[in-house]
Structure 1
Amino acid sequence: MNKKNITLIIIGLAAAAVLYIIISGSAKQVGSEPGDRAPDFSLPSYGSDEETALSDYGDSLVVLNMWASWCEPCVRELPALLEIHENYNEEGVEVITMNMNSYERTQEEAEAFAAEFNLTRTPSAIDMEGDVADAYQLQYLPTTVIIDRDGIIIEKIAGEITYERMEQIIEENI
């Protein structure tokens, strides 16, 4: 092999290495913070025998709200979440409400809460074992995670969120 061939091989390998670094660097890691790819889930739904899966809403901007029935801020913010769903659903915004069942006192209280607020009008999931709570590193209730159409977390809000704040985030990202 002559020097010219060796040089071409080295240049080719270097180009391949640079391309690999660029491609692998652009792939987002799955995680729970803004900029991470949102962990997927498939969970039972309230009022349905079907499951709610994040991957089913890949073309939507997703507002994922995690709640428990005893949580007063969860109760206060729920009307705003339902209003966001009504006002932005036709624009490709999906509100998914998710009961953190492992945080509940009783399943009956969670079911009564879901019925009281008619949560079946939006996708409504039940995290029975706390798997989603773990994947999203849930520390506070409520927590709202806003996920873009590519599955990347835009915002993670621990604590009560207002209609105006959700609307601002949505308007910046639709």
Structure 2
Amino acid sequence: MTSHPRSQFVEARTHAARERTDQQQRAVRTVAGQARDHTEFTAMLSMLGLEQCMSSPTPLGRRLAVYVDHVAAAVGVPTEATGYEVSDTATAYLGLDRRLPSRPDHDLMLLWDERLGWYVAVETTPAEGPAVVAYLDGDTVPTPDAVARFVTDLASDRSATRIRPVSPPTDRAELATRMGAVCPVPA
């Protein structure tokens, strides 16, 4: 797979997000070791802006990370070609090593969005938005095997949905629960 500026940016952003999460977890462990009781522990986390780190033992970010890892394994994408982010919108990126005959100079990417589900797009320049090729119909959190079949079917020129209606916002706790049901979080 060719390294494009967009994929380099996604990789760097993913690495930075993982580093930030690791630092936050170390800070929470340090605070836990220094606090005299739960009240002090909570107050110290609040002062450091880390209260969100203890809000749920399995937040959407952790569920999404596991889900993306499972999908990447099913599709055959190495971990270093993946990325995910939970901000105002939860999203994921998987760089595919496939190309379309109609655009042989452009890599394909498999994208996920909490409202759109999975879709395949052609990588373009960073100034352009991705050119969507097809959407995976159905649930926004399908099984990894269903996503792999979608990618295989698309590469084989089997039918693909070109238009997908935007779903209403999903409750993030429900989204995390659905991801946990499809791909359990390791202990």
Q: Place the TM-score, normalised by the shorter chain, in its bin.
A: under 0.3
Indicate the structure (1 or 2) with the bigger Cα radius of gyration: 1
Instruction: Identify the structure with the greater strand proportion.
Output: 1
Greater relative contact order structure (CA < 8 Å, 6+ sep): 1
